[in-house]
Amino acid sequence: MEQFCCRLAAIDMDGTLLRPDKTIHPDTIRDLQAAKDAGIEPVYCTGRGVPELKPYLPLLPMMRYAICNSGAVIYDLAEAKCLHSSAVRARYLPRILAEAARYGAMLHYLTGGESIVSAQDITHMADFHMGVYQPLFLSAARQVADMAAEASSCSAIISGRRKPRWRSPRRASARPAGCGRWRAFWAFPWNRRWALAILTTILRFCRLRAAPWPWATRSSTFSGCAIL
């Protein structure tokens, strides 16, 4: 039987790595070091932001990488470098702000290197069932007066860019602009099936309507779904 080999251990913080008082048990530190020595990479996997990990970094030097912000940021703690980030798009911001105002919710912005909260909300975090995190927020978070204005000015939170359209690399410059897009569309089997299914439906409809198109009455037209 082939032996199972684990190369990475992604560990949650609150309720898993940390005790109820937000401290780390010495046995946990020992076990993490033993895992590192055995070739297993222990990794933070948490909803916290990078600044909220800093109090624990001296205790856990064996943990180099962190999956933060509930997966939106992957961070290299040794080099203090963001390896990947996925920002909220600008079009979602008005809805987020409106819903927060509607329910009286506490807004908390997390970027690759900052934790941002309202200076007013941080004074009564117990009302949001977040009282246990208040000391951490007071030391790690940046407090601002207007969260809406802060989000609009922070490019790490808001991303208005769209993904670039995929273009066919084989498209010749002399061909029409739409040719490459059609070839890219036709390259995917599912798109071909979808287009042919629509064409089959149109042809069947024409045959039921006395076939105004001469070529629609031929028996060799796309009959049935055998072509799919």
- pLDDT tens for 198-221 read 766 666 665 655 544 444 444 433
Identify the residue with better confidence: 89 or 107.
Answer: 107
Residue range 33-71, pLDDT digits in tens: 999 999 999 999 999 989 999 999 999 999 999 999 888
In order of 64, 113, 114, the CA distances from 136 in angstroms are: 21, 15, 13
Residue 185 pLDDT > 80 = no
Where are the alpha helices (H) located in the chain, listed in sequence order? 26-37, 93-103, 134-140, 147-153, 177-186, 189-208
Q: Which fold has domain 8-85?
A: Rossmann fold (3.40.50)
Q: Which residues contact 48 (CB under 8 A, 6 or more apart)?
A: 13, 14, 68, 69, 110
